[in-house]
Structure 1
Amino acid sequence: MTVTSKILKEGDEDPEVKIELKKQITLLNGVAIIVGIIIGSGIFVSPVGILKEVDSIGLSFVMWIVCGLYNALCAVCYAELGTTIPESGGEYIYIYRAFGEVPAFCCLWINFILICPVGIAASALIFSMYILQPLFPDCNIPDNGLALLATSIFTLLVAINCWNTKWATKIQVVITASKLIALLTVIVIGFYYIIGLGETENFKNPFEGSDFSAGAIAISFYSGFWAYSGWSYLNFLVGELVDPHKNLPRAILISMVIVIVTYLIANVAYVAVLTPAQMLSSPAVAVTFGEHTMGVMAWLMPVLIAISVCGTMNGCALGFSRLFYVGSTKGQMPAFMGMIQQKRLTPSPSLLVILIMTLIYTSTGDIFFLIEMEGFGFASVLTMVFAGQVYLRYKEPDLPRPIRLPILLPIILCIISFLIVALTFYQKTRESLMALGFVAFGLVMYIVCVVWKNKPKFIQQKMYAINTLIQKCLIVLPVDNPDEVDWD
């Protein structure tokens, strides 16, 4: 079947319009997307996740700093890769360029089965928890209610992303402002307790009882990953970024400085008000903070936090839908995921697949399990990305690099990422084997769906019929010459 890319515009007789994603993301949009994704549920949940592993305020602060610096250095490496290879698809494209199809598919599959839906599901459940917790002050929130609200809010965000990309990016700016207001509220109140009331008791003997074991530090790293994750997602959208060679590194650096400083100050504010025991016993540490300090206005804190978590989900939908879209144009995902809506020019098939995958994971209800699974997948992908960055220096030494970092930096980050994965196998064997099982299943799917070219005719007809049905239902078209799309 031949699908036409011809779209009639009002006032024109029969113009040819190229079917592709538009460059409409500015520097401000880029900063809002990154900050909006990073400052989501992490800072409101990860303080508990880190503290329960390392067992002391002092070491938890060290881990926040270490995680921040590590993620900032990773972001700088991604800035080099993003300006060197300015294509949408992010880490998938970098691994594809360095190592070829099979490692790139592993990256794509890990993002598809672990990082994307697991991370969004965790954020959606956290959103529900913050909204519903005030309604159930003395009892547990019903699991069905938690899952229903989580699926409802993400479905709404997916609908907005399917309708208009500009709407999605504008919403991200508003959400980013809301979450900064929430954190500013925490910071102001916390420092009032320190400076105005002299509350410094919780800072005494900060390293007492610390767990310095490698396993505890590795697992606490995952909560740090969760809190800082999101800096890489703008690389998925480079094809839609205005002047990516300048705006990508600027957006990444501006965003990381804002986030690291904000996180460190916010953690000081938490500790000024809450004891370690109070933090560990709280399912929603920022809500507990508000209950102790805001009186009748305590309801405002969970509302602001819930809005901020929406930013994480919205940004993930923006970024990952483009990743899977690019994977499809490379022939490594179903063909319909490489199509965009005829009038709206949005990757609606990819967005709807993300929605379905997220709904499946939302039913688990175990937030910290989801965080650990997502962290394992993320560390695995980072190991491949930095190894590819090093190899590209050897494979394509003359490739123009607007940003050129010392080669030692990606080497060190690759080793650290690999050690985190290895330590996780030792500390969380069951979860690690489960994640490996998902990857192994993906390789089987790759052999069956991608490598096996000469499929029986009835299978090809079924696949063709499915793609055709989805095209008709969603009114989507393949991009014009996907292998020749100018992403610059």
Structure 2
Amino acid sequence: MSSVMWAVCGLYSAMCALCFAELGACIPQSGGEYVYIKRAFGDVPAFLCCWVNLVIVCPVSVAASCLVFATYILRPVFPDCDPPQEAIRLLAALIILLLISLNCINVTWATKVQVVITGCKLIALGIIIITGFVWIARGHVENFKSSFEGSDYSASAVAIAFYSGFWAYGGWSYLNFLADEVVDPHKNLPRAIVISMVIVTAVYVATNVAYFAVLTPSEMLKSAAVAVTFSQQTVTALQYIMPVLIAASVIGGINGSCLSMSRLFYVGAKNNHLPCVVSMITKKQLTPAPSLIVIMILVLAMQNFEKIFYLIEMMGFSFAVILTTVLAGQVYLHWKEPKLYRPIKLHVSIPIVMFLVSCVILALTVYQKPSESLMTVGLMALGLPVYAVGVYWSKPAGVNKVLDSFTVCIQKLLLVVPPDDSQ
């Protein structure tokens, strides 16, 4: 059933990506879902989208990926036991510091690193797939007998599985955050989304088939680093190579998140939804350093939270709320702005169906995981007083003077200026 869910989550993500392709092509502005919600529903919902991404979605996603990276890197050093949590967190903190520094210094370097890392990811997954299918060809098919035995088919379990799918497939919406920086976005944005989702879904499903050919579900659940356990039982020499390749691929996910999410916060700050210093860029490198540093601070805080899967489920619920709002806005824009130029025009039934499916997932999650859901809703609701004080309230001259002094101090410290002043 988990393999089925990998395919279903891939299909769901691909359909959502198509909806985002339409939005990205007709509204080619950096900021992704934040821009689309603002266009459809106005200022307050857009601020809440920015707020949720700031306090939950971005830091949790990046923190979880950093911890996975550290676990894989340290696994060969501790072959007979799990790596110490202190070592994992220290290494996770070092990698986020390194990647944020790289993005602050030079975006071109960051994108080149992304290309190299993507190659490492495909090599690692290709090795796993080939090894697994060779294992099957040699007649090792015992793990596929009664393969649905013990599966949980309940709707609530399926809904929760979607959130792990959101995290695994996460990234399909990130290209929309960089729409202003994409060459010919009307053509290249949808092309990139569609091609990548087909490849990623096929590779992930094939990888899991390969895993199940060698490992039982219980062995996978017990393993802290599944690819290493897989290598130990197939090609022993790979147990030292695989952690490096997997860790490199995880760096790619972290780097992509930092690169794209910093643009969302940058756009939010330009609309006065975050402190204006977040919208500034470095004078020499022209990178959004303040936005990146905010991400780094929040990620470091999240890495110290012990229940990382609790956070991932919160992140999944938060992302599902944002996604549902975007799909509702897309349907609304079809009615509100029917003459809007849409280089890619989906039939309105597609975003409607995806919106309804997302609503069902949210409802089932509230039923199955009330604690995580209520915590997430509470954090979202906290954004309303933050909006009232930070955005809506006309601040006295004394308060504005203090804020301006703080902004100038950060500008001097980071050598950042408003974008218009850097031209």
Fold shared per TM-score above 0.5: yes
Q: How does 1:174-253 map to 2 (within 5 A)?
A: 174-195=116-137, 197-253=138-194
Structure 1 residue identity aligned to 2:317: F
Of 51, 67, 86, 1:125 maps to 67
Q: Which residue identity lines up with residue 475 of structure 1 in the other structure? A: L
Out of 398, 404, 414, the residue aligned to residue 464 of structure 1 is 404
Going by fraction, where is helix more abundant, 1 or 2?
Answer: 2
CA contact (8 A) 1:245 1:402 kept: yes
**Which amino acid is the alignment partner of residue 318 of structure 1?**
L
Contact 1:67 1:224 in 2 (8 A): yes
Whole-angstrom distance in 1 between the partners of 2:364 and 2:98: 38
The question of 1:447 aligning with 2:392 is answered: no
Aligned partner of 1:142 in structure 2 is: 84
- Aligned residue for 2:332? 391
> Contact (CA 8 Å) 2:277, 2:411: kept in 1 or not?
yes
2:63 pairs with 1:94: no
Instruction: Say yes or no: does 1:300 pair with 2:300.
Output: no
**Residue of structure 2 equivalent to 1:158:** 100
The counterpart of 1:359, out of the listed 300, 307, 322, is: 300
Q: Is the 8 A contact 1:162 1:346 kept in 2?
A: yes
Distance 2:306 2:131 in 1: 32
Count of aligned pairs between the two proteins: 423
Aligned to 2:215: 274
**1:264 maps to amino acid:** V
Q: What does residue 256 of structure 1 align with?
A: 197
Residue 419 of structure 1, aligned match among 360, 367, 377: 360
Question: Any conservation in 2 of the 1:147–1:365 contact (CA below 8 Å)?
Answer: no
Corresponding residue number in structure 1 for 2:7: 65
Contact conserved, 1:340 with 1:476, CA < 8 A, in 2? yes
* Structure 2 counterpart of 1:115: 57
> Are the aligned partners of 2:76 and 2:239 in contact in 1 as well (CA < 8 Å)?
no
Which letter maps to 1:438?
Answer: L
Q: Deviations over 1:39-82 (max 9, x none)?
A: xxxxxxxxxxxxxxxxxxxx112111111110000000100000
8 A Cα contact 2:105 2:285, kept in partner = yes
CA distance in 2, matches of 1:236, 1:296: 40
CA distance in 2, matches of 1:481, 1:115: 31
Question: Which whole-Å CA distance do the structure 1 matches of 2:306 and 2:291 have between them?
Answer: 24
Instruction: Assess if the C-alpha contact under 8 Å between 1:95 and 1:104 holds in 2.
Output: yes
Alignment of 1:336-355 (within 5 A): 336-355=277-296
Counterpart amino acid of residue 330 in structure 1? N
Does the 8 Å contact 2:20/2:176 carry over to 1? yes
Residue 368 of structure 1: which of 304, 309, 312 is its match?
309
Work out the CA distance in 2 between the residues paired with 1:264 and 1:424.
24
| 1:481 to partner: Cα distance | 8.6
Equivalent AA in structure 2 for residue 389 of structure 1: Q
Q: How far apart, CA to CA, are the structure 1 residues paired with 2:184 and 2:289? A: 25
Q: Percent identity?
A: 57
2 CA distance for matches of 1:364 and 1:387? 33
- Equivalent residue for 1:84, pick from 26, 48, 62: 26
Given that residues 122 and 367 in structure 1 are in contact (C-alpha distance below 8 angstroms), is that contact kept between their aligned partners in structure 2? yes
Q: Which runs of 4+ in 1 moved over 3 A?
A: none
User: Is the Cα contact below 8 Å between 1:128 and 1:150 reproduced in 2?
Assistant: yes
Among 227, 248, 260, the alignment partner of 1:319 is 260
Shift of 1:208: 1.6
Q: Take 2:321 and 2:117, find their aligned partners in 1: how far apart are those partners? A: 30
* CA deviation string 1:115-157 (max 9, x = no partner): 1000000000011111112222333322221111001011101
Distance across 1 between alignment mates of 2:401 and 2:366: 43
Tell me how far apart the structure 1 counterparts of residues 48 and 382 of structure 2 sit (CA, whole Å): 10
Question: Residue 237 of structure 2: SS of its match in structure 1?
Answer: helix
1:480 correspondence with 2:420: yes
CA distance in 1 between partners of 2:304 and 2:239 (Å): 29
RMSD: 1.4
CA distance in 2, matches of 1:119, 1:224: 12
Q: In 1, distance between residues paired with 2:308 and 2:232?
A: 22
Whole-Å separation in 2 of the counterparts to 1:429 and 1:286: 33
Q: Output the amino acid matched with 1:473.
A: L
Comparing 291-300 with 131-140, which one deviates more in the overlay? 131-140
One-letter amino acid matched to 1:161: N
Q: Distance in 2 between matches of 1:371 and 1:262?
A: 23
Please say if residues 231 and 237 of structure 2, whose CA atoms lie closer than 8 Å, have aligned partners that are also in contact. no
Aligned AA (2:406) = I
Task: Report the AA paired with residue 320 of structure 1.
Answer: M
1:106 partnered with 2:48 = yes
Is residue 126–residue 367 contact of structure 1 (8 Å, CA) maintained in 2? no
TM-superposition CA deviations, 1:4-49 (whole Å, max 9, x none): xxxxxxxxxxxxxxxxxxxxxxxxxxxxxxxxxxxxxxxxxxxxxx
